[in-house]
Amino acid sequence: MKLYYSSCLFILYFLFFISRTYTKSLKKSYQNEKPCEKGYTRVGPNCLGKCPPGMKTYGATCIKRHYSRGLGYAIWAKDKCNEKHKQGCEIHGIFYYPKCEENYKNYSCCSCYENCPNHLREMGHRHCMRPLQGVKYE
């Protein structure tokens, strides 16, 4: 039991020491880098810009705006869907859903997510990459 207890203490001490040393060396390396330009903030080794208005910041990404398209209309109710929604309807599975608004695209059946602005990179259906200092996306 004593051997087990002492080896656990040694491992915990070793992990604590390594993590503190690694964190200190990271902080020193970031401090030596040149400061970020105006409008950018340092997140780790990178200088990241702000998210566009209306998008929330989540780490190194911006969360896109989205909305629900509702429960849909049964396959035999296409005319009813088109009457209620001037942008038209599209089929997904066995239901018709209103088409997404301009500058939005559908994900799955029931949700529309905003497209990322031109200066941001897509990161899946829910996120856009925050602008990186010195990088331009095409």
- The pTM of this model reads 0.65
Quote the Cα angle for 128-60-129, to 5°: 20
Each residue's pLDDT expressed in tens, for the chain with a length of 138 residues: 444 444 544 454 444 444 444 444 445 555 557 788 888 888 878 888 888 888 898 888 899 999 999 999 999 999 999 999 999 999 998 999 999 999 999 888 889 999 988 778 888 889 998 888 877 666
Count H helices and E strands in the chain, helices first.
Answer: 2, 12
Using CA atoms, how far apart are residues 26 and 29, in angstroms rounded to an integer? Answer: 5
Using CA atoms, how far apart are residues 31 and 69, in angstroms rounded to an integer? Answer: 48
pLDDT of residue 12: 43
Q: What's the mean per-residue pLDDT of the chain?
A: 79
Tell me, rounded to whole angstroms, the distance of Cα 96 from its chain centroid: 28
Q: How is residue 77 annotated by DSSP?
A: G
Q: Which stretches of 33-133 are DSSP H helices? A: 78-84
With beta carbons less than 8 A apart as the criterion, state whether 40 and 47 touch. yes
Q: What tokens appear for 88 in the block?
A: 């038209």
